[in-house]
Chains A and B, each alone.
Chain A
Amino acid sequence: MNNKFKGQILIAIVCFVLGLMLVAQFRSTQKSGSAMTSLQRIQELTTQLKTVIDERERLRTEVSDLRKRLNEYENSAANISQVTEAMKKELEKARMVAGLVEGTGPGIIITLDDSNVPKQPGEDPNLFLIHDEDILKVVNELFAAGAEAVSVNGQRIIATTEIRCVGPTIMVNSVRMAPPFVIQAIGNPENLESSMKMRGGIIESLEVFGIQVTIKKHDKIIMPAYEGPVRFQYFEPVKAGE
């Protein structure tokens, strides 16, 4: 009888261990179920991203190649006659307007960075970040003050440039960027600076939220050219005289 009792106790212990194992297993499957699938999804997305990035690199080199070839054609054509020479000058001007030419000139450099004011509980953290609208307003103000060329983090602002929120980053010319934002503008440095520092102006409203703004006048700013593709799919020009 005593022996049998001991056996029962031992079996109870085994069952105890079994119960423990069952619960631990149940827990781990409940937790890992979703994590496993998301891991798979991450891998999938990573490979997708990689192929797209490769594709973009390839296209980018193609664009620069084609640009170079175009340049060669123009130069060889300009040698032929004075008419083409004049046309080339005209083309150069149009390019400058379009923002396809790199250039230098006096102007200002504005640096915007997220607020370093310690956040108070209950306050909206969005107030202390730089948004697309802030950059849009600064760029707009610069053009209003007579800026001839503006770039954001090395992306030249042209007629079709977008400045837009994409998740936590801002997209300019389809290039994603994060703070700090360096905005360069070529124009009369005095005018540009005073347009920024205007009372009740854009800088003042940004500094309320602690956004760090520095403005520097510069004698020689190197303004990059627009590097993306120029494509007109729907637009057709109307010929003069028609």
Chain B
Amino acid sequence: MLFPLIGLILGILAGLVFPINIPLSYAPYASIAVLAALDSVFGGLRAMGEGHFNVNIFITGFFSNALLAGFLAFLGDKLGIPIYMAAIFAFGVRIFQNLAIIRRHMLDRLFKRN
């Protein structure tokens, strides 16, 4: 549990130190990509709680989800279809579902130990 936290903190620090600027026109797609990445991470946490966590699935899922989500939002914009709305809805719902499941696993573990 320690390594991911360290990685996250390092990433935030690196982001603060090196000014990475997303061009204004790509900002909406980047936001979808961030949402997808968050979803992947929560999905990974849930899988860990359920005990069938697979590193390879997690990592490929993280990158492909983020890239695909950004690309789909971009494509939707070009075609005039608000795909990003569907993405926000789908990822948002899943993030909260995963959060609930993670909470349940944590509670289970806590009470079993006691």
Contacts and interface: CB of A to CB of B under 8 A. Distances in A.
Interface of A: 6-25, 27-29, 31-32, 35
A19 B15 contact: yes
A174 to B, nearest CB: 38
A10 B63 CA distance: 12
A62 B106 CA distance: 80
Given A15-B4, A19-B9, A10 B55 contact: yes
Chain B contact residues: helix, strand, loop or mixed? helix
Given A7-B55, A27-B21, A35-B24, A15 B30 contact: no
A215 to B, nearest CB: 51
A19 B22 contact: no
A13 B13 CA distance: 14
B81 interface: no
A16 B7 contact: yes
Contacts of A10: 55, 58-59
Contacts, number: 106
Contacts of B21: 24, 27-28, 31
Given A16-B8, A20-B11, A23-B16, A9 B34 contact: no
Nearest to A9: B3
Highest count of chain A CB atoms <10 Å: which of B9, B19, B37: B37
Interface in B50-81: 55, 58-59, 62, 66
Contacts of A11: 3-4, 7, 44, 55, 58-59
Interface in B23-51: 24, 27, 30-31, 33-34, 37-38, 40-41, 44
Interface residues of B, number: 34
Contact of A14 (B7, B13, B14): B7
Given A19-B11, A22-B12, A28 B38 contact: no
B5 interface: yes
Contacts of A7: 55
A25 B30 contact: yes
B20 interface: yes
A9 B41 CA distance: 14
Given A15-B3, A17-B11, 8 more contacts: A10-B58, A11-B3, A11-B4, A11-B55, A14-B41, A15-B41, A20-B15, A24-B21
Contact of A22 (B15, B24, B55, B59): B15
A28 B44 contact: no
The 10 lowest CB-CB distance pairs between A and B, nearest first, are A19-B11, A23-B15, A12-B7, A15-B7, A16-B11, A7-B55, A12-B3, A19-B12, A15-B8, A8-B3
